[in-house]
Amino acid sequence: MIKKGLILLVEDNLKLLDANRRLLECEGYETLTAKNLSEARGRLKETTVDGIVLDIMLPDGSGLDFLKELRDASSNIPVLLLTALNTPEDVVRGLKSGGDDYMPKPINIEELVARVEALMRRAARVPETIVKGSLKLDIAAGQAFLDDKDMLLTQKEFSLLLLFVQNDGRAMSADYLYEKVWRHPMNEDNRALKKHLSNLRKKLEEEDCGYQIIATRGEGYCFEKT
């Protein structure tokens, strides 16, 4: 059987953990298992995985905090949240924390397989690099190059630039940008966003890349051709 990918299963219910492991392996996936966050961190230090099925309520902490750690480290590993927390508010919180999909327990095994397969298809479509004019973004490394020169972006600056490049020509509000990059609501303090946008603009203007970040009153920010 052709192996479809390596999935890390993080679940403290050992019966469910073993059942999901056997289910995915029968479908052609390789698996790693962890019954808590400490074990999950250890697995990721040792191995690169293609996807994670993550419980939220774990013995040594919240899966959402672990997910935030991944996203803060610019990890693009697709994550399916599998949890007993199933109110609409829980779902929104999980997705805003960086989850790619959300599935409440008790699970339907056919649906679990379908959601994992969809997650892997979406991940396979993410390019390793994106080129826009004289800009080149290395997604895995979290680096951006302007005319082959490293722009030396911070993590947040890179995340903002990637968001702009992926939404070329689309106006995005300050609230939207902040939530996508910082992974929590901005509230009323937009100083951090403005500072990072200002720094990013300066670095883009050092050499003419053919694009600029435009601020439009009432609409937000847009990445447009100069």
Give tens-digit pLDDT for 88-115.
Answer: 888 888 888 889 999 999 888 899 999 9
Q: Does domain 129-225 have CATH number 1.10.10.10?
A: yes
Q: Name the pLDDT band for 47 (thresholds 50, 70, 90).
A: confident
In angstroms, the CA 146 to CA 163 distance is: 17
Check residue 126 and give its pLDDT.
Answer: 60
Q: Give the list of residues 6+ apart from residue 90 with CB closer than 8 angstroms, or none.
A: 83, 102
Helix/strand/coil for 60: coil
pLDDT, residue 1, reads: 42
pLDDT for 11 = 97
**Residue where the block lists tokens 């979406």:** 122
As a whole number of angstroms, the distance between CA 80 and CA 119 comes to 8
Domain with CATH 1.10.10.10 in the chain: 129-225
Q: Give the pair of three-digit tokens for residue 206.
A: 């050092």
Every domain of the chain with CATH number 3.40.50.2300 lies at: 6-124
Provide the residue count of the chain: 226
Q: How confident is the model at residue 218 (pLDDT cuts 50, 70, 90)?
A: confident
Average pLDDT of the chain to the nearest whole number: 88
Domain 6-124 part of CATH 3.30.300.210: no
pLDDT at 147 over 50: yes
Compute CA distances 28 → 3, 20, 111, 171, 211, whole Å.
5, 13, 16, 42, 44
